[in-house]
C-alpha cells in the first residue's frame, strides 16, 4: 500500500523544531559542503538526513524563507520547521533571523507606495 507519507513519519514523530528561534519568515540557505552533495548514503552524516532534508538542501541554493520552502515542498509548515531545524543543527543550512519589527517599514508607507504604483498604470 503506497500513498502520502504522514507528517509524523517524515519528522520521526517530532512536532516541534529543536530551535525555538526558527520563525516562518527566517531565511534559509544551504551551506556548501558534503551534506549538500549527493554522496554515497553510507557516510555517517547521511544517516541523519532523509529525502525531505535533501529536497530542502536542493531548494535552498539561494535564500528562501521557511514558509517558501514549505510551499515549494507541499509540506505542512510545522514539518518544514522541524526539518530545517535538523539541518541547522547539523550545520547544513544557514538561517538568518527575521528583521526585527522596529526595523521594518511602517505598513502605511508600504500602502502609499502600492497606491502610487497602481496610479502609474
What are the DSSP calls for 42-53, one per residue? TSGGGGS--HHH
Does the structure show a pLDDT above 80 at 37?
Answer: no
- For the four alpha carbons of 81, 86, 87 and 91, in that order, the dihedral sign comes to positive
Q: What is the per-residue pLDDT across 61-120, written as a single tens digit (0 to 9) for each?
A: 889 999 999 999 999 998 899 999 999 988 899 999 887 765 667 778 888 888 999 998
Contact criterion met (CB below 8 Å) for 18 and 89: yes
Strand intervals (E) in the chain: 27-30, 64-65, 93-96
Q: Which domain holds residue 16?
A: 5-118
pLDDT band of residue 28 (cuts 50, 70, 90) is: very high
In this prediction, residue 3 has a pLDDT band, given cuts at 50, 70 and 90, of: low
Least confident window among 1-5, 19-23, 31-35: 1-5
Q: What is the pLDDT of residues 6-27, one digit of tens each?
A: 766 666 667 676 777 788 899 9
pTM beyond 0.85? no
Overall average pLDDT of the 36-50 stretch: 52
Q: Domain total for the chain?
A: 1
Cα dihedral sign, 67-69-72-76:
negative
Amino acid at each position: 500500500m503506497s500513498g502520502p507519507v504522514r507528517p509524523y513519519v517524515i519528522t520521526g514523530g517530532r512536532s516541534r523544531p529543536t530551535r525555538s528561534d526558527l520563525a516562518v519568515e527566517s531565511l534559509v540557505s544551504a551551506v556548501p559542503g558534503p551534506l549538500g552533495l549527493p554522496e554515497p548514503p553510507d557516510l555517517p552524516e547521511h544517516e541523519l538526513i532523509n529525502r525531505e532534508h535533501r529536497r530542502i538542501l536542493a531548494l535552498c541554493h539561494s535564500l528562501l524563507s521557511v514558509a517558501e520552502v514549505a510551499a515549494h515542498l507541499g509540506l505542512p509548515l510545522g514539518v518544514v520547521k522541524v526539518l530545517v531545524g535538523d539541518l541547522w543543527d547539523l550545520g547544513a543550512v544557514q538561517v538568518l533571523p527575521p528583521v526585527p519589527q522596529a526595523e521594518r517599514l511602517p505598513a502605511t508607507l508600504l500602502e502609499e507606495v502600492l497606491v502610487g504604483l497602481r496610479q502609474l498604470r
